[in-house]
Each structure stands twice: as structure tokens, then as C-alpha cells.
Amino acid sequence: MEGPFSLLSDHEQVVYANDPGSGLRCIIAIHSTRLGSALGGTRFYPYASERDALVDALRLSRAMTYKAACAGLDLGGGKAVILGDPATDKSEALLRAYGRFVESLGGRYVTACDVGTYTHDMAIVGRETRWATGADLEEGGSGDSGVMTAYGAYVGMKACAEQVWGSDNLGNRHVAVAGIGKVGRALVEYLHAEGARLTVADVDDGATTWAAEHTGADVVGVDKIHAVDADIYSPNALGGVVNDLTLPELSVEVIAGAANNQLLAAEHGAALHDAGVLYAPDYVINAGGLIQVGDELHPDGYSPARTKRRVTQIGDRLRQVFHLAEVDGIPTSVAAERFAERRIADVGRLRGLWIG
């Protein structure tokens, strides 16, 4: 696994906050502001160590840079992690202390929801900073971004189907969905409405029971879902699910899901390419939530119609990535990086922020 110091090499800024009064311990990693303010969610999680938290923040913030660039947004990439158990450690005092910390960065970092944080949390954070997005609608935010993340994953999956089978129709496809949380559940509903056959897995038995009862989905264990003989494998929970152990057991032609960091290491993208499996790079296909909260920064305020139109374009972004991969003879994971880096370089030069 990559160590924290090797990951630090291309980050602009990494800051640590400690507020003993509220119990806040937090790391904010700003990977890039070449295209604009670094936007990324706040992950509240009981990390085993500060090292683990730092590595997570560094990896996730870099992915956010690429996600924003591929989505055509004038935003950079950042990520925050709060160390602790959100069930027991989260409080108004802690969230407000965190908001003051975000405010102190002067707009270089814009926060939003992630694992362990929710729209009502962002409303509290927003009492202390202008740079909080994703609050409840009644608090002036755009609400739960999971719906747009799921919609973008659905649109992206259809683009994958068109690339592999010549038709974007998912009605005759078998999709193995890992993770039936707020994103996975909405994605399952889209797929069921189109008539897809579903196999699902989740650590929460209630989530899989819902899927079985409402969509007729088959249920397997979370340790088996990647090996289901299906057309599409859709990871929507944990990262690192494509690795040395799971790769030989894959029995699909497409991997398309909303989870972050699906490849445990870069070489696994090449392995998928060599195996003839089309991989939809996660930070391209799962950009719907980022597009939504980013739209809150528009001069005219948040627009649901404009957001949905931009999320629909995820399919076109993937088609561009697939074309680049074909022309250059490279894995889609590498093509997505090149796609993002070209935009960062071109726009960065125009803004006078970076000379490559």
C-alpha cells in the first residue's frame, strides 16, 4: 500500500485541526486548486490510526481533482476526514469547530457530505463557514447528493452497455450490485424500472431484504458478489474491491459503480484491460453528487434542471474516455487520468495558475 509521504508529493496543502473542547481531530487535504476551489466531502470515520486517516484523505482528495476535471467543473480536489465514531463523537460543538476550521482556509476548500456526515450536519457546519455545500433544501442547500450520484452511475452504466454490446438497453442485462445504501438503493430502482435482472449484496440484511421484496433481486454474501456470473458488476460501497484476490474470480464484461477507489492499485486497471473487462473509472461515473453540490456555487444559485443536464453528460464523458483508451491502446483507468490531466493543464495555463 502507498505510504502517506509518497502520496504527499503532488498535494498543494495538508492541514490538521485539533479542538480539545469539542473533541475535533481533523485532516483536510487539498490536492489541487488549479481549476478552482478544492471541493470534496467530509468523511467522519473511526480510523484505526492518524496514519490511516491521512492516507485516506490524500487518496480521496487526489481522486476529487480528477473527478472535477473529468466532469468539466471549474473546481479542484480536496477531502476532509474527521477521526472518530459519528454515532458517539459527533456533536454540534464539534461540527461548528470544524466549520470554523474550514472557514479559516478562506475558500480554498469547500466541504460537503461523505461517509458519516449528512445534509443536516452540513447545515450546522454552514453556520460557521460560507464554504459548506449539500445542506438540506430548507437550509438553502441542494439536499442529498446520493440521488444524483446514483443517476450518474445509471447513465454511465448505459454508456458502458452501448460500448460493449452496441445498445444502452439494460433491460436484458444481469447486474450484480454491491452495496444497497442511499446510492445503491436508488441505482437498483433505476435498473429495476428498466427491467434488469439483479443480484445484490450488503452487510445490512434489511437493505437486501428490501431489494429482494421490491425488485425480485437474488441475494448473495458480500464476499461473493464480485464473483457472480453476470454482465455487469457494480460496486457501490467499499473501495479496493478490484484486487489480486478478486480479479481471478470476476465473471463480468463491465465494471460500473459509484464506489470510490474501486481499484486497489493502478496495476489492477491494466489487469482488467488485459482481461477484456470494460472498467468505468470510478471518479468519472460517480461524479453526479459532486456536480450537484458544485452547482450550489453557481452565481445564480442551485438549479435542479441544470444539475440533471450536467449529470446526464457523464455518459458522454465516459464515451470520450473509452475512445481515448481505444486510440491510445491503454486501460480506461489511464485514459481517464490523461483526460483529466489535459484539461487541468490547458485550463490551468489559461488561468495562469500552472505552467507545465
Q: How far apart are CA 132 and CA 39, in angstroms?
A: 9
pLDDT at 2: 52
Q: 18: helix, coil or strand?
A: strand
Residue 137: which pLDDT band, with cuts at 50, 70 and 90? confident
Cα angle, residue 248 at apex, residues 227 and 233 outer, rounded to 5°: 40
pLDDT at 356: 28
Q: Give 213-235 pLDDT, tens digit per residue.
A: 999 999 999 999 999 999 999 99
Amino acid at 131: W
pLDDT at 5: 55
Closest CA to 99 of 127, 120, 77: 127
Q: What are phi and psi of 98, to 5 degrees?
A: -65, -40
Cell of 216: 425480485
Q: Give 257-296 pLDDT, tens digit per residue.
A: 999 889 999 999 999 999 999 999 999 999 999 999 999 9
| More confident: 238 or 62 | 62
What domains sit in the chain, N to C, each tagged with a CATH number?
Answer: 4-63+74-141 (3.40.50.10860), 147-286+317-340 (3.40.50.720)
Find out whether 307 and 52 touch, Cβ atoms under 8 Å: no
Q: Residue 8 pLDDT > 80, yes or no?
A: no
Residue 4: which pLDDT band, with cuts at 50, 70 and 90? low
Greatest extent of the chain over all pairs of C-alpha atoms, in Å = 59
Q: Give 50-59 pLDDT, tens digit per residue.
A: 999 999 999 8
Prediction pTM value: 0.89
Q: Give 102-125 pLDDT, tens digit per residue.
A: 999 999 999 999 889 999 999 999
pLDDT at 249: 98
Strands of the sheet containing 13-19, edge to edge, are: 13-19, 24-32, 76-83, 38-45, 109-113
Report which DSSP code applies to 71.
T
The rounded mean pLDDT for the chain is 94
pLDDT at 123: 96
pLDDT at 354: 36
Cell of 300: 445564480
Q: Residue 164 pLDDT > 60, yes or no?
A: yes
Q: What percent of the chain has pLDDT over 90?
A: 88
CB proximity list for 136: less than 8 A, separation 6 or greater: 119, 120, 122, 123, 143
Q: Give 291-350 pLDDT, tens digit per residue.
A: 999 999 999 999 999 999 999 999 999 999 999 999 999 999 999 999 999 999 887 654
Q: How far apart are CA 159 and CA 260, in angstroms?
A: 19
Q: What is the b/e burial string over 210-220, where b = at least 16 CB atoms within 10 angstroms of the residue's CB? A: bbeeebebbbb
Length of the chain: 356
Which residue pairs from 344-353 have beta carbons closer than 8 angstroms and sit at least 24 positions apart in sequence?
A: 344/32, 344/34, 344/35, 344/65, 344/69, 347/34, 347/35, 347/74, 348/34, 348/35, 351/34, 351/35, 353/33, 353/34
Find out whether 126 and 263 touch, Cβ atoms under 8 Å: no
Amino acid at 32: S
* Catalytic positions, written as ranges: 79
Cell of 140: 438553502
Q: Give 236-256 pLDDT, tens digit per residue.
A: 998 899 999 999 999 999 999
pLDDT at 352: 44
